[in-house]
Amino acid sequence: MNVLVFLVPVALLLGGFGLAAFIWALRSGQFDDPDGAAERILLDDD
Amino acid sequence: MSCCTAAAACGPAPRSDRSAASADGADGTVMELIIPSVHCAGCISRIEGGVCKLDGVRAARLNLSTRRLRVHLSDQGSGQAVIDAVEGLGYECRPFSASEAGTTVQDKQARELLFALAVAGFAAANVMLLSVSVWSGAEGATRDMFHWISGLIAMPAILFSGRPFFRSALRALRARSLNMDVPISLAVLLAGALSLDAAFRGGEEAFFDAAVMLLFFLLVGRYLDHRVRARARATVSQLLSLMASEATRVTGDRSERVPVDQIAVGDHVLVAVGERAAVDGVIFAGTSDLDRAIVTGESMPVAHGPGDAVEAGTLVLSQPLTLQATGVGEQTFLAQVVRLMEEAESGRARYLRLADRAARIYAPAVHLIALFTFIGWMIVTGGDWGRSLWIAVSVLIITCPCALGLAVPAVQVVASGVLFGKGILIKDGTALERLAEVRRVVLDKTGTLTSGQPVLSDLDMDEAVLGMARALAARSRHPLARALVRETDAGAAPEPRFSDIAEHPGQGLSGRIDGQLVRLGSRAFAGPSAEGQTAATTEIWLSVDGRPVGHAAFADVLRDGAVEAVAQFRADHLSPVLLSGDNEAAVAQAARAAGIDDWQSAQRPEDKIACIQAMMAAGERPLMVGDGINDGPALAAAHVSMAPASASDLGRAAADIVFTSDRLDAVTEAMQIARRARNLIVQNFGLALAYNLVAVPVAILGGASPLVAAIAMSSSSLVVTLNALRLRLPALSLRGRTRQKAMTAKQEIAA
């Protein structure tokens, strides 16, 4: 069971990393225009 | 396509910049434009590229979700140039002020909910991970440690993510009432506290996972609900263009543009051709055809001269007019209509949403059941309050309306998405529910049942005559002249050059060619004799030196789909009524063509609202479909109302639903979807109830372990959401399917 000492913090860290990334994305406005983001990938020069 | 090369010079607007749509720092401004018709990457590159090329534009970014273009202008930049550029690219656009529509507050709320949702989701996933280990048999120190870690994650998450619910529950309690958020807050907080206690004592079970999962699901519902409303509000602000806020005041031989509120009674106001009068007035100088379709519902322009009264909102067609203002501000016809509208709105009983109606019964019931469970277990166990409280909380958690919280928003999101795709915009979440309850339909004529534009019905002109007619007609703004130009082929005939072209209000146009006087206009002006003209069809004649050589007839035709829509209303026993401000003959003809038996002509705004109120009083729940300023009060008074996108600002503001398609059967389509949505909502309530009927007895008997709670909660939420998605499937009836096919075929052609 000693492996838990690593695995639980690792799991939490990874989850926390995901949460932090999401919050960063939210704060920087990346969820403001989901439809536009989907279409912009088709533009050559963006 | 390299239309965006210019964009490299100025680039897209920085995304991180989210200041309000006003001044942006000292060195420039930000303007926002609503462009309703953008839909793809091509539009993005065309518009951003085109706008970026302009002088004085620093950056431009188009938001496809809200259909707004945000332009950063330097001091040299001109907003009008941007509008002209966008319109030059073939897109309609309107300036828009974000603070007015209150969308910045909306955005902030949405972000806060999403933030709470993310935290709850993170906590739910991690706590669940630990809980699964506990359920699969972790024991002793490992279990205690897992409970502790769960608690450490869950408690801050509950306190943070639960705030929207705590706030609303507190508000309800302060108002001495119960809403759904009271049991939710109670359950989540009690479950957290008791589980913390269990962790302290090294207990076997903890409800951390259930508490955060409950929050997570409820926040999903809350966020979806918010998005429906935010989108609704965004579409309204898209459609509320700025009213004429300036007018040209004439003092002596000087004229100046001033804000409308500075015009006083007695001032002289110049109204240019193509402009709408900003104030009520009497014509002081000039004679012109006036288009009052949007004000009174009259379908054809009428000539007005000195001494005639003109209402604000009237469109001047042939010659500039000088008005002497008789009514400004509160005294205008428009202000009177607005007052009628406000009265109507305050008179309309506040509609209670289905979800609120359910909560009214559900919230007290949940509390009572939990309370009785607690008392019952206290008696059975002989005062073991810890165990009794534990079971009571498990009842609260199980009954907590995960599925109930998703039942309505999930359906509404899907429904408004489907409607949005068909060009039907819902301004108010409850409008969909109200639309499903309609028992009567009231229609306006000009601009609603009919297209509001005359259409060529008969043409009797040879090539040379047609060429002359087109050349003259192109110089006029009269709807008939415009229709003639629009509906005849440009290349069909050579268009001669005229000299001395003059427009005679109420009569027509005249011009000279090779010394001959050519007249285009009414039968009396250019036709054989004044007799034989019917009110329903309208003609224009062309004469050369007083000799009629050709004529064309026009009719105000029904909107596409009007006959189908009326037939559908009849099939649904909604007995449609036509109320119009137009004259009797025109209304009778339109009613006959559409298949409506029940019609009334020459209706003033007061008459329309009286009719609607009589229906409301009789419990007939009328749907009002209208577009004009004169329809405003009736739209506001009706149980639910719809307006075409071509409607007056006032009409669009008053209506609950706006449809952008040209077809009137958008109305029946919206009704159909509203009814299906309502059925799905009721079904979802049924599913949530059925789940409770099974789960609650189990919980009351103390059988609800955290594992059972977790499974029950997630499965019921999933079932409800999947059920809502069924709205996306085509209707099972054959008619629904063929119509859908027709729609997609049409879209393909349009694309």
> Which has more confidence, B681 or B749?
B681
Domain annotation covers residue B235:
no
The reported pLDDT for the residue numbered B117 is 92
Last residue of a domain, one of B306, B331, B356: B331
pLDDT along chain A (46 residues), means of 10: 79 88 86 80 72
Statement: residue B141 has pLDDT above 50: yes
Statement: residue B28 has pLDDT above 50: yes
The reported pLDDT for the residue numbered B106 is 62
- The shortest C-alpha distance from A3 to chain B (Å) reads 12
3-state secondary structure B75-144: CCCCHHHHHHHHHHCCCCCEEECHHHHCHHHHHHHHHHHHHHHHHHHHHHHHHHHHHHHHHCCCCHHHHH
Residues from B contacting A (CB-CB < 8 Å) are 1-2, 4-5, 7-8, 12, 15-16, 18, 40-41, 44-45, 62-66, 107, 111, 114-115, 118-119, 122, 125-126, 129-130, 142, 149, 153
Q: What's the average model confidence in pLDDT over B428-457?
A: 84
Contact assignment for B63 to A15 by CB distance below 8 Å: no
Cβ-nearest to B18 among A29, A35, A45: A29
- The per-residue pLDDT for range B656-698, each reduced to its tens digit, is 888 887 888 889 999 999 999 999 988 888 888 888 888 888 8
CA-based nearest residue in chain B for residue A21: B118
Q: Are B174 and B390 in contact (CB under 8 A)?
A: no
Q: What's the average model confidence in pLDDT over B462-469?
A: 83
Chain B CB contacts of A24 under 8 Å are none
- The shortest C-alpha distance from A20 to chain B (Å) reads 10
Statement: residue B446 has pLDDT above 60: yes
Statement: residue B736 has pLDDT above 70: no
Chain B CB contacts of A44 under 8 Å are 1-2, 4
Q: Which of B43, B129, B161, B420 is most worth mutating to test chain A (most A CB atoms within 10 A of its CB)? A: B129
- pLDDT-derived band at B349 (thresholds 50, 70, 90) equals low
Interior angle at CA B622, CA B620 and CA B624, nearest 5: 165
Residues in chain B: 751
Active-site residues of B, by number, are 444
Domain annotation covers residue B192:
no
CA-based nearest residue in chain B for residue A37: B64
Cβ-nearest to B64 among A15, A18, A33: A33
Q: What is the CATH number of the domain that holds B309?
A: 2.70.150.10
Contact assignment for B119 to A19 by CB distance below 8 Å: yes
> Which has more confidence, A19 or B453?
A19
Percent of residues in chain B assigned helix, strand, coil, to nearest 5: 55, 20, 30
The amino acid present at B456, given as its one-letter code, is L
Statement: residue B395 has pLDDT above 50: yes
Report how far residue B136's alpha carbon sits from residue B288's, in angstroms, rounded to the nearest whole number: 86
Last residue of a domain, one of B300, B331, B362: B331
- pLDDT-derived band at B24 (thresholds 50, 70, 90) equals very low
> Which has more confidence, B289 or B117?
B117
Place of tokens 């706006």: B658
The reported pLDDT for the residue numbered B360 is 77
Chain B CB contacts of A33 under 8 Å are 63-66
Q: What's the average model confidence in pLDDT over B529-539?
A: 58
Domain annotation covers residue B72:
yes
Q: What is the CATH number of the domain that holds B48?
A: 3.30.70.100
Q: What's the average model confidence in pLDDT over B134-155?
A: 86
Contact assignment for A12 to B111 by CB distance below 8 Å: no
Which of A30-39, B243-252, B409-418, B508-517 has the weakest average pLDDT?
Answer: B243-252
Q: Which of B44, B68, B133 is most worth mutating to test chain A (most A CB atoms within 10 A of its CB)? A: B44
The reported pLDDT for the residue numbered B232 is 60
Range of the domain at B290: 246-331
Q: A15 and chain B: CB distance < 8 Å anywhere?
A: yes
Backbone torsions φ then ψ of B736, nearest 5 degrees: -55, -40
The reported pLDDT for the residue numbered B242 is 38
Last residue of a domain, one of B310, B331, B352: B331
Domain annotation covers residue B65:
yes
The reported pLDDT for the residue numbered B509 is 86
The reported pLDDT for the residue numbered B231 is 64
Statement: residue B76 has pLDDT above 70: yes
The reported pLDDT for the residue numbered B351 is 66
Helices B163-174 and B103-135 sit at what angle, rounded to 10 degrees? 110
Which pTM does this prediction carry? 0.71
Domain annotation covers residue B305:
yes
Q: How many CB pairs under 8 A join A and B?
A: 70
Chain A CB contacts of B5 under 8 Å are 45
Q: A35 and chain B: CB distance < 8 Å anywhere?
A: yes
Which of B181-190, B239-248, B351-360 has the weakest average pLDDT?
Answer: B239-248
Q: How many domains does chain B have?
A: 2
Contacts of B428 (CB under 8 A, 6+ apart): B229, B232, B656
B511 DSSP β-pair partners: B518
Contact assignment for A39 to B41 by CB distance below 8 Å: yes
Domain annotation covers residue B678:
no
Contact assignment for A26 to B118 by CB distance below 8 Å: yes
Cβ-nearest to A45 among B7, B114, B115: B7
CA-based nearest residue in chain B for residue A38: B41
Q: Which of A1, A7, A8, A31 is most worth mutating to test chain B (most B CB atoms within 10 A of its CB)? A: A8
Average pLDDT value for chain B: 79
Contacts of B344 (CB under 8 A, 6+ apart): B609, B613, B633, B634, B636, B637
Contacts of B715 (CB under 8 A, 6+ apart): none
The reported pLDDT for the residue numbered B604 is 81
Q: Which of A22, A27, A28 is most worth mutating to test chain B (most B CB atoms within 10 A of its CB)? A: A22
Interior angle at CA B652, CA B648 and CA B653, nearest 5: 115
The reported pLDDT for the residue numbered B23 is 39
Q: A32 and chain B: CB distance < 8 Å anywhere?
A: yes
Report how far residue B44's alpha carbon sits from residue B104's, in angstroms, rounded to the nearest whole number: 23
User: Which ipTM value was assigned to this complex?
Assistant: 0.81
Statement: residue B103 has pLDDT above 60: no
Q: What's the average model confidence in pLDDT over B459-488?
A: 82
Domain annotation covers residue B262:
yes
Statement: residue B420 has pLDDT above 70: yes
The reported pLDDT for the residue numbered B161 is 93
Domain annotation covers residue B558:
no
Statement: residue B9 has pLDDT above 80: no
Q: A45 and chain B: CB distance < 8 Å anywhere?
A: yes
CA-based nearest residue in chain B for residue A34: B65
The reported pLDDT for the residue numbered B138 is 75
Q: A33 and chain B: CB distance < 8 Å anywhere?
A: yes
Contacts of B649 (CB under 8 A, 6+ apart): B240, B241, B243
Statement: residue B20 has pLDDT above 50: no
Chain A CB contacts of B62 under 8 Å are 36
